[in-house]
Chains A and B, each alone.
Chain A
Amino acid sequence: MAATATSPPPTVAAEAALAVPGVAGLQPRLARRLAAAALPTRPETTAGRMPPEAGVRTDPLPDGSGWHIEVRCVLVEGHRAVDAARNVHNQVRATVLSYLAAHGAPVAVTVTVTVTRIAARDHTS
């Protein structure tokens, strides 16, 4: 069962999302943040220093025909949320599809985009 066995690495979706204008960063899920928080940290480490792919979640589609990808992103103000989210959706879907095709596994991909926060322009995450 080679075709659907290997999920697309989250970095593929993450990098695609980060390349969209208006995206400041990705938001990790609570479970990952709690796990990270449990590790001893140096005083200067901020809670937000998780790899971008932590904001991507990949699940197999119920009928096994492909993958569902959820992207949680932080937007910069000045970009209409629905437009930025739409761009993230399109960009992620196209990039993941093309990755899977390049690795010999053309399958279905659906994408959900969640805007978790809208940050100020001068915020450097």
Chain B
Amino acid sequence: MALDDPHAQPSEPPGNDGPHDDPATRDAAPFAGDQALPCGRLLSKAWEQAQDATPTTDPHAASCPHCREAVEGLATLNAATRALRAKDPPGLQALARRVMDIVRAEVRLGRLLPLADTVLDLRIAESAAAKVLRRAADAVPGARAATCRLAPEGEGTGVQVTMTLAAALERPLPDTVNQVRRSIIHAAEQALGLAVTTVDIIVVDTLEPFPPPATGSAAAPEGEA
């Protein structure tokens, strides 16, 4: 199972063909309507450099009057663009609420697990129990739960837990894993009343700090709506 690493190259999703760009092919096929400025630079390239707003190490772009003039031609468009960027889309809260109403009505319960009562028929949905146990793992410093599966074990009310985890490397992994295990067992007993017999924990990824440090053109994730 691959967890996202915002810094890694994601593998091409199915259907996305094509090699990565390299400078040699980039200017090979001209864009329709493109033109060379008097200095020889392509209009599209002059615009791209200006719009990408990366600190230009290109001395030509910085000093060439033709390129500068081409870029100034975008000034009005850019001003109007800024106005659009400043607009807050309406209906954010209501949208989020409606989405979650639908999602929660469709919640997938998963299998049912016996609660720790040998006499009465009391069950809990796997998704409900998993949520509590994931939180318990999250409470351990340097650990964040990924998947959490539960299954009946044995003939009675025993339940086995299998969890995958993202863990920070600052602490020795066995310490983190043991603490997560203790946290899960404690929560299973205290919050749920679940008779956990086995807890299997697999560390599948390192825990990245979030939000990830800014990496230039990548947009920062949105905060609270």
- Measured CB to CB, the residues of A under 8 A from B are 33, 37, 43, 46-48, 77, 80-83, 85-86, 89, 110-118
Contact in complex: B107, A82 (CB < 8 Å) = no
Q: A47-B101, A48-B104, A82-B115 are in contact. Are A115 and B125 (CB under 8 A)?
A: yes
User: Which size class do B's interface residues fall under?
Assistant: 20 to 34
Per DSSP, chain A at the interface is: mixed
Stretch at the interface among B33-41, B53-61, B174-182, B186-194: B186-194
B220 at the interface (CB under 8 A from A): no
Of A43, A47, A82, A115, the contact of B128 (CB 8 Å cutoff): A115
B29 at the interface (CB under 8 A from A): no
Contact in complex: A46, B101 (CB < 8 Å) = yes
B-chain residues with CB within 8 Å of residue A83 when the two chains form the complex:
193
Contact in complex: A48, B105 (CB < 8 Å) = yes
Q: A47-B104, A115-B124, A117-B125 are in contact. Are A85 and B131 (CB under 8 A)?
A: no
Contact in complex: A118, B131 (CB < 8 Å) = yes
B-chain residues with CB within 8 Å of residue A43 when the two chains form the complex:
98
Closest-CB distance, B189 to chain A (whole angstroms)? 9
Contact in complex: A82, B122 (CB < 8 Å) = yes
Question: Complex Cα distance A116/B190, Å?
Answer: 18
Contact in complex: A80, B193 (CB < 8 Å) = yes
Contact in complex: B120, A89 (CB < 8 Å) = yes
Question: Complex Cα distance A85/B125, Å?
Answer: 12
Q: A115-B124, A116-B109 are in contact. Are A81 and B117 (CB under 8 A)?
A: no
